[in-house]
Structure 1
Amino acid sequence: MRTLPFVLLALVVATTAACRSGNVKPSIPTAAPVDVDRFMGDWYVIAHIPSFPEREAYKAVESYARMPDGRIQTTFRFRKGALDGPEKTMHPVGTVKPDGGGAVWDMQFVWPIQAEYVIAWVDADYQQTIVGRSKRDYVWLMARTPRIPEADYQARVKQIEALGYDVSKLRRVPQ
């Protein structure tokens, strides 16, 4: 009976090591340097490989505002299930990592868990952006307007694919 805690601990350590060693992908490239202050404001989610809460998002908008301490107050609002569905909001807080050129943030939804958030591309006018993660599990194509030209959309999908994402999982967000 005394060895059970040690066996469980060994099992957890072995499982964690196995998860880390297999299928490791390189860090996602960044758009560094990013002018974080220019990045602030509203961004409409044009398409994404969604996280669980976003699977049925409509009219999705991510808004960023600098807090006095330099962190980023984020408000993610969307309609659930339909254009006129109930409005949902989330309020994660972003922290710009000092070594990421403004393009790498930690996004905290629940303390103490922080998620990687990488601005992989932003156009020169800060009108369109691609945000991703090194795990290639989630990605967001966003713009300052609720719609972008189809040619722009197709070009961004090619960029997302070049970043290593399975674009068959990409979902356009109805705006």
Structure 2
Amino acid sequence: MRLPTFIFAIGAALGLSQPSHGAGYRDTSVPIGYVGNLDLNRYLGKWYEIARFPNRFEKNCAGVTAEYGLRDDGKVSVTNTCHKGSPTGPVEVAEGEAEVIAPGKLKVTFVPWLPFAKGDYWVLHVDAAYSYAVVGEPSGKTGWILSRSPELPAAKTEKAVSVLEGMGYDTGKLEWVAQ
């Protein structure tokens, strides 16, 4: 593993388990839900990051993708790709794994040998076609809008934002990701 990739992996792991900005981006007094009937096989594959709440492990990242695959041991492989500075900038890749806790609720780590470095990854919403998804976690320290394509139509973007708002997120803090 190259040093920048290792640093990106460590940052990703710590970012999932530690606050990135104070108390987070979500009013935790508002109930949060998740997709309890998530079809993991349909969720697997490549997703483009459309928007995110700022976090230190994706600082200056553009052209971000996340790819999920089913491993032989039942866990999910996670490959996050970041282009530094622009969608054509230098590539950093972080390899991780996720464990399914319940349909729609996963624990993700990019440093499996650090037991405390597991973060919540909840699928808050996915459309019927599995063409876009909203991801977050109870503390509200992280959150993403993902799409199967590099661009998300306005109506779907509006729906994704409304899902976050309905779960107490301050969507004014979202960063829109250049693809």
TM-score, with normalisation over the residues of structure 1?
Answer: 0.81
Show the counterpart of 2:94: 90
Distance 2:33 2:144 in 1: 15
User: 1:103 and 2:107 equivalent?
Assistant: no
Show the counterpart of 1:40: 44
Q: What displacement does 1:57 show?
A: 1.4
Distance 2:92 2:163 in 1: 30
Show the counterpart of 2:55: 51
Counterpart residue identity of residue 106, structure 1? K
Q: 1:76 to 1:27 in 2, by over 3 A?
A: farther
Q: What displacement does 1:114 show?
A: 0.7
Q: 1:48 to 1:31 in 2, by over 3 A?
A: same
Distance 1:157 1:38 in 2: 22
Q: What displacement does 1:25 show?
A: 4.5
Q: Using the aligned pairs only, state the percent identity.
A: 28
Distance 1:141 1:76 in 2: 14
RMSD: 1.7
> Secondary structure in 1 aligned to 2:33?
coil
The answer to whether the Cα contact below 8 Å between 2:28 and 2:140 also exists between their aligned partners in 1 is: no
Show the counterpart of 2:16: none
- Counterpart of 1:150 (choices 149, 154, 162) is 154
Distance 2:33 2:147 in 1: 19
Q: What displacement does 1:109 show?
A: 1.8
Q: What displacement does 1:163 show?
A: 1.1
How many residues are treated as equivalent by the alignment? 151
Show the counterpart of 1:117: 121
Q: 1:155 to 1:81 in 2, by over 3 A?
A: same
Distance 1:27 1:128 in 2: 22
> Secondary structure in 1 aligned to 2:118?
strand
User: 1:130 and 2:131 equivalent?
Assistant: no
User: Based on CA coordinates, which of the two structures has the bigger radius of gyration?
Assistant: 1
Distance 1:31 1:131 in 2: 10
Structure 1 segments, 4+ long, off by >6 Å, are none
Q: What displacement does 1:108 show?
A: 1.0
Show the counterpart of 1:162: 166
Counterpart residue identity of residue 108, structure 1? T
